[in-house]
Structure 1
């Protein structure tokens, strides 16, 4: 969209939805959709209920159109426009996403080029050629069984879970096993993500980060207040609550969000902490926030590629962390 065009016509506002669509080079259907999902709603309506857009609305619509052209997701655009996500951070995330797509395309291109070369050098029948392509893809991907074997071996090598009871080892891996070890064939993009996950898991520094991050879990597992399976059910309940909060866009300072933040942190408390829960919350929440490293964040991003359902877990964790920061700040001010 041309800023000069809007400037010249600013004295003619408000604009109908048709005029707005024409000015920004979009469609009425698209602009109506942005209104319906509350991404951008018109500033005014006619007495008959028709949408009317101001020049400022058009600037916002142009921004959305530009970001969509650059493949930004609706949730990220929403965060950008609300100020929840900094521009620099959004650009970094999108650059990374596009680099992943480029890597994926290069991987697929390599398979196709190898298959084409093989086709030229041999006189195989069609079904044999297709079998060759399938074998090439299979050599790059890893089924669920192979992924499980790899992760199990690395967990054993790390000795991360050596000092906790067996039932709690299963609890520790519950979400990973449930969402990441599904017996489905990986796409080219997921194969690329799995390759990087393997590189991370092969890095001793990652295991050191994970060991530090999970200290509260290890302490709790060796002094449990509930059975391991009950703890998993409570964690699943927290996941469901955070998903609902995200879907309904509840504020960080809302009673519902703050309640789940409190419940989540206190899940790691022992009986001796019951007499001073706020003291425990301060200490535990600060530790949880300070223990997140770039490697941990990268691992979660890769898991989101492997299974979009993991996004619910990561987004839920982010919500809880934001809630912790707010509560800690309020505690300091009191």
Structure 2
């Protein structure tokens, strides 16, 4: 009985002739609580199809089925955001299952890592009879040896950038601009959790992979080209990018559609950040070429890197989700351009 998700047969038999159910009846049928179902209504995950004249919620059999589905997905540890996307069709079932399997595998890896630390500490306590009672100190030293503070992370990235020669030939101020968001979000002086440490370890493995550096070089070629022939100062460019990030966050919070003037204006501004004076004569031609390049340059390694960074610091989601919004907006605009 997955989390009480199976509708009780006796309850069904008592209500099978009914067209609608009260919130209490619906809660009993799916093995949940009135408070939980009310919460789903409040966040607009699932709203009842009807209300009584007195304002009480009434749920149809279809509503109850959807509530049961939500309960099942919650039992399987799906987040509210993913459930919303699944039920709206924005996220495919296969993709959602892959994401959840990956998330659970990450949790298993995290638990194994923590288990290893505790087992080592217990063994240390049993063997070191002269210093009995100091296992907590030993645990702390083990964790410190595994986690990477901000300074260690900065040093690692700095060393890899030099070794890769990715930023060779780029003016110093533009090198700082290139790493602006990464430094701002990924290099915060916060102690990483076990799960974040595991993610950071994989981030390091990806950065160490020459194939990833090649992917990154291709993806960021427009930036490198612009940095060598800038139309504005590096600081001004960063401020514009920060403004775009804020606009993208607002668009996502307010759920503006991709074809809305606000989102499309943002998409246009983002792509044109890479334009030079020579493109002023035919900006639409530049948009087509640049947008297609940006979309075609995203690889699985790039996507994996961004996902891991979201685990290391959830604030990175603002960057990744904003980029995803811009990319979807680009696809829509390109499609509209082709149809015109």
TM-score tier after normalising by the smaller chain length: over 0.9
Residues 12, 29 of structure 2: 8 Å contact kept: no
Aligned residue for 1:229? 235
Tell me whether 1:2 sits opposite 2:6 in the alignment: yes
Q: Please, which of 116, 120, 134 is the counterpart of residue 114 of structure 1?
A: 120
1:1-334 correspondence to structure 2 within 5 Å: 1-2=5-6, 5=9, 8=13, 9-125=15-131, 128-334=134-340
Tell me whether 250-259 or 300-309 shows the greater mean CA deviation. Answer: 250-259
SS at match of 2:17: helix
- Counterparts of 1:4 and 1:288, CA distance in 2: 52
RMSD: 1.3
By how many angstroms is 1:128 displaced?
A: 2.8
Task: Give the superposition deviation at 1:11.
Answer: 2.6
State how far apart, in whole Å, the 1-side matches of 2:136 and 2:67 are: 47
Asked if structure 2 preserves the Cα contact closer than 8 Å seen for 1:10 and 1:55, the reply is no
Report deviation, 1:126. Answer: 6.2
**Mapped contact 2:7–2:31 kept (Cα < 8 A):** no
Separation in structure 1 between the aligned mates of residue 187 and residue 130 of structure 2, nearest angstrom: 36
Does the 8 A contact of 2:125 with 2:133 survive in 1?
no
Residue range with higher mean Cα deviation, 55-64 or 6-15: 6-15
Judged with a 3 Å threshold, the aligned counterparts in structure 2 of structure 1 residues 271 and 7 are, in CA distance, closer, same or farther, namely farther
Question: Secondary structure of the equivalent of 1:226?
Answer: coil
* Residues 7, 231 of structure 1: alpha-carbon distance in 2 compared, 3 angstrom cutoff: same
| TM superposition score normalised by structure 1 | 0.97
Query: Which consecutive residues of structure 1, in runs of 5 or more, have no partner in the other structure?
Result: none
- Supply the distance in 1 between the matched residues of 2:17 and 2:285 (Cα, whole angstroms): 59
Distance in 2 separating the partners of 1:244 and 1:16: 36
Q: 1:10 to 1:257 in 2, by over 3 A?
A: farther
Q: Deviations over 1:139-167 (max 9, x none)?
A: 11111111111110000011111121110
Q: Please give the TM-score of this superposition, normalised by the length of structure 2.
A: 0.96
Q: What are the superposed Cα offsets for residues 123-150 of structure 1, whole Å, 9 maximum, x if unpaired? A: 2556632211111111111111111111
Report the CA distance between 1:4 and its aligned residue: 7.9
